[in-house]
Amino acid sequence: MKRILITGALGQIGSELTLKLREIYGADQVIATDIKKNDSEAVVGGPFETVDVMDVNKLMEIAKKYKVDTIMHLAALLSATAEANPIFAWKLNMGGLMNALETARELKAQFFTPSSIGAFGPSTPKIHTPQDTIMRPITMYGVNKVAGELLADYYYYKFGVDTRGLRFPGLISNVALPGGGTTDYAVEIYYEAVKKGKYTSYIAEGTYMDMMYMPDALRAIIDLMEADASKLKHRNSFNVTAMSIAPEDIAASIAMLVPGFELNYKVDPARQRIADSWPDSIDASAASEEWGFKYKYDLDKMTKDMIEKLRERL
């Protein structure tokens, strides 16, 4: 990677990935784009362009202007938001992906887009979900992710585009606020712990889902993109994870640093239905074997860092 264009650069992953890539490759080498503009470091700290990924001509124009050799396509609606507006989700998630892939094909650029555990469904094995398994999701977001994985594979086999991707679990960040995902409770709970000392979870007790701390997610993206292509048997997308946890596990970890922290429940049936269709735990051995994936943060180490960072800021 030398000159990188990021779509959705102001979103949950993009707002931190942009800064990390600029730190590694240089500020002028990472072009951030999004449909909106703000005064964040991703905007003011390097090249930024306002781009709607639904406009393929604009996307192509900006990519050619900066002579990019890598495209990281992050612009998308997340699970709960997509389920509330499925028609628009299909148009944005799939139309935007196709436009980004076409841009990568035109420029012969390396390409990354994230998938998700949302690609799995109720018929998927729930414990240690394999890399290659049944994928029959029951949400529009999940359908988008499965289709996106296949489409990215197609562009590799048909056109030779160097496409790569990760199936992310829930991502927990102390920088970016939740953006409409089913696992967002795992971010909100930390903010509420610091601000109020209590949290009401919309996900039921005992609901296990895979999670990962954002610093590990960013490193996984970079490591995959830098990996030797000849060693990749899979491309779109690798299972990655750091922990399988339920709301009460996070609460217990928080309580060690926030004495008296209180967790209550008011289950949201729509998001609980999505959570129940996903695995309890996934197997990331293919990522470990093919490009050396590893994580640094377990639950307690993540909780310590989250609480420290949020106390500084809030």
> What is residue 256's predicted lDDT score, i.e. its pLDDT?
97
Q: Is the pLDDT of residue 1 over 90?
A: no
Contact indicator for 278, 209 with CB cutoff of 8 Å? yes
Q: Calculate the average pLDDT of the chain.
A: 96
**Domain 170-211+243-313's class?**
alpha beta
Determine how β-strand 70-73 pairs with β-strand 209-213: unpaired
Tell me the pTM: 0.95
If pLDDT is split at 50, 70 and 90, which confidence band does 114 have?
Answer: very high
Q: Is the pLDDT of residue 179 over 80?
A: no
CA distances from 22 to 25, 27, 173, 219 (A): 5, 4, 19, 13
Q: Where in the chain is the domain with CATH 3.40.50.720?
A: 4-169+232-239
Question: 49-104: per-residue pLDDT in tens?
Answer: 999 999 999 999 999 999 999 999 999 998 888 999 999 999 999 999 999 999 99
> What is residue 78's predicted lDDT score, i.e. its pLDDT?
84
Q: Is the pLDDT of residue 177 over 80?
A: no
> What is residue 285's predicted lDDT score, i.e. its pLDDT?
98
Q: Pick from 60, 57, 68: which is nearest to 103 by CA?
A: 60
Q: Tokens for 239?
A: 């299972």
> What is residue 97's predicted lDDT score, i.e. its pLDDT?
98
> What is residue 2's predicted lDDT score, i.e. its pLDDT?
87
What is the average pLDDT across 40-48? Answer: 95
What is the average pLDDT across 200-226? Answer: 97
Residue for token pair 């909106």: 36
What is the average pLDDT across 139-154? Answer: 97
What is the average pLDDT across 128-136? Answer: 97
* HEC per residue, the chain: CCCEEEECCCCCCHHHHHHHHHHHHCHHHEEEEECCCCCCHHHHCCCEEECCCCCHHHHHHHHHHCCCCEEEECCCCCHHHHHHCHHHHHHHHHHHHHHHHHHHHHHCCEEECCEEHHHCCCCCCCCCECCCCCCCCCCHHHHHHHHHHHHHHHHHHHHCCCEECEEECEEECCCCCCCCCHHHHHHHHHHHHHHCCEEEECCCCCCCEEEEEHHHHHHHHHHHHHCCHHHCCCCCCEECCCEEECHHHHHHHHHCCCCCCEEEECCCHHHHHHHHCCCCCECCHHHHHHHCCCCCCCHHHHHHHHHHHHHHHC
pLDDT above 70 covers what percent of the chain? Answer: 100
To which CATH superfamily is domain 4-169+232-239 assigned? Answer: NAD(P)-binding Rossmann-like Domain (3.40.50.720)
Question: 154-175: per-residue pLDDT in tens?
Answer: 999 999 999 999 999 999 999 8
Alpha-carbon distance 251 to 200, whole Å?
11
> What is residue 314's predicted lDDT score, i.e. its pLDDT?
85
Q: Is the pLDDT of residue 309 over 90?
A: yes
What is the average pLDDT across 286-300? Answer: 98
Q: Where in the chain is the domain with CATH 3.90.25?
A: 170-211+243-313
Q: Pick from 93, 45, 46: which is nearest to 66 by CA?
A: 46
Residues annotated as catalytic (active site), given as ranges: 141
pLDDT above 90 covers what percent of the chain? Answer: 92
